[in-house]
Amino acid sequence: MAGKRTVLTVRLRRLAALLFDLREHAELSKEEVSSKTGINVTTLYRIETAQARPQRRTLMAMLDLYGVTEQQRTDAIQLLTDALKPGMSRPYEGSLSEVYAAYINFESEALSARHYQTSYIPGLLQTEQYAIAVIDTSMPKVEASVMEHRARARMDRAAVLSKDEPLELWVVMDEAAIRRVVGGPAIMRGQLDRLLQETKRKNVILQILPFDAGAHPGMAGSFTLLDFPDPADPELVYVEGIAGDELIEGHSEIRRYGVIFDQLRAMALSPRDSATLIASAAQRLS
């Protein structure tokens, strides 16, 4: 059942990385751990890749075998406790893909996000009417309840921009995102007005990549880079696509997307000129 899925969170990923490092430091293979603890090798793999949360007795058996310090034991137990807490996606998980639900959890705890979007207004900046129109078009024949849940999830996500320590958001959008009339002129005009309001936030930078910039490295598709306040949480990339969404980790891949984003923002209009272009697009819909 959808409600029984283990959806990835920041704390679960951190716990998985810690347990992997502890096993490596103990110089034990998964097969050796399985032989000494009775924990199935497949279960160990799923725990170390954050695909499953360990039960407390399983965690204790692993920590006993690895000969950890008291501080490491305390940290691991606390991470397990925190990993059991529901992420921001919990109310909507039945209507979301596992990857998208995990992304929402990561986004809610990120320090900053660098986002490139090809065709749509980014979810964090969408109005509810625009979001419904996008979902209705991109997910034909979806049930009304699922559409409502997905739209509500997008609206609730926007809270990260106004919380006490708000997400630092840097967006580069292809000009097509503000020119394509989604949901009709009235809905699109409201969406563009919302964008102009968001540009006034100190924690939001918005740039438009104009058509006359020509070919660019973001033409392959949309993506988001997330950075986290704790050094123990490595950066990750969320990639959107028709075939499915994907969360990517690894220094080389993160660096590649970082370089692409730097190129895109260098090719895009300045935030001031971008706001002027958005205002012009909105005026044409009046």
Range of the domain at 222: 92-284
Q: Do 68 and 100 fall into the same domain?
A: no
Token digits of residue 96: 């979301």
* Last-in-domain residue among 83, 113, 145: 83
Q: Where are the beta strands (DSSP E) in the chain?
A: 112-117, 168-174, 204-209, 223-227, 236-239, 246-248
Quick check: 2 pLDDT over 60?
A: no
Q: Do 45 and 129 fall into the same domain?
A: no
Supply the mean pLDDT for the chain. Answer: 91
pTM above 0.75, yes or no: yes
Q: Report the percentage of the chain scoring pLDDT > 70.
A: 98
Q: Do 74 and 133 fall into the same domain?
A: no
Give the Cβ contact number of residue 45 at 10 Å: 12
Q: Do 59 and 153 fall into the same domain?
A: no
Query: What is the reported pLDDT for 3?
Result: 42
Largest CA-CA distance found in the chain, in angstroms, rounded? 71
Q: Do 145 and 240 fall into the same domain?
A: yes
Distance CA 172, CA 166 (A): 19
Q: Do 140 and 14 fall into the same domain?
A: no
Q: Do 144 and 21 fall into the same domain?
A: no
Query: What is the reported pLDDT for 251?
Result: 85
Cβ neighbours of residue 229 closer than 8 Å, sequence gap 6 or more? 109, 111
Q: Do 189 and 150 fall into the same domain?
A: yes
Q: Do 68 and 111 fall into the same domain?
A: no
Token digits of residue 93: 């998980």
Find how far residue 135's CA is from the centre of its chain.
Answer: 18
| Confidence band for 282, pLDDT divided at 50, 70 and 90 | very high
> Which CATH number covers residue 73?
1.10.260.40
| Confidence band for 209, pLDDT divided at 50, 70 and 90 | very high
Quick check: 162 pLDDT over 50?
A: yes
Q: Do 192 and 130 fall into the same domain?
A: yes
132-146: pLDDT as tens digits: 999 888 776 677 777
Of the candidate ranges 26-35, 151-160, 205-214, 237-246, the one whose mean pLDDT is the lowest: 237-246
Q: What share of the chain is helix, strand, coil (3-state, %, to 5)?
A: 55, 10, 35
Q: Do 71 and 197 fall into the same domain?
A: no
64-101: pLDDT as tens digits: 999 999 999 999 999 999 888 877 777 777 778 888 88
Average pLDDT score over residue span 119-140: 89
* Last-in-domain residue among 59, 83, 107: 83
Query: What is the reported pLDDT for 90?
Result: 75
Find how far residue 140's CA is from the centre of its chain.
Answer: 24
Distance CA 158, CA 155 (A): 6
5-58: pLDDT as tens digits: 678 889 899 999 999 999 999 999 999 999 999 999 999 999 999 989 999 999
> Which CATH number covers residue 264?
3.30.870
Quick check: 167 pLDDT over 60?
A: yes
Query: What is the reported pLDDT for 4?
Result: 55
Q: How far is CA 55 from CA 5, 16, 50, 89, 133, in A?
A: 15, 13, 13, 22, 42
Please give the backbone phi and psi of residue 224, each rounded to the nearest 5 degrees, phi first: -135, 135
Q: Do 139 and 215 fall into the same domain?
A: yes
* Last-in-domain residue among 55, 83, 111: 83
94-106: pLDDT as tens digits: 778 888 889 999 9
Q: How many domains are contained in the chain?
A: 2
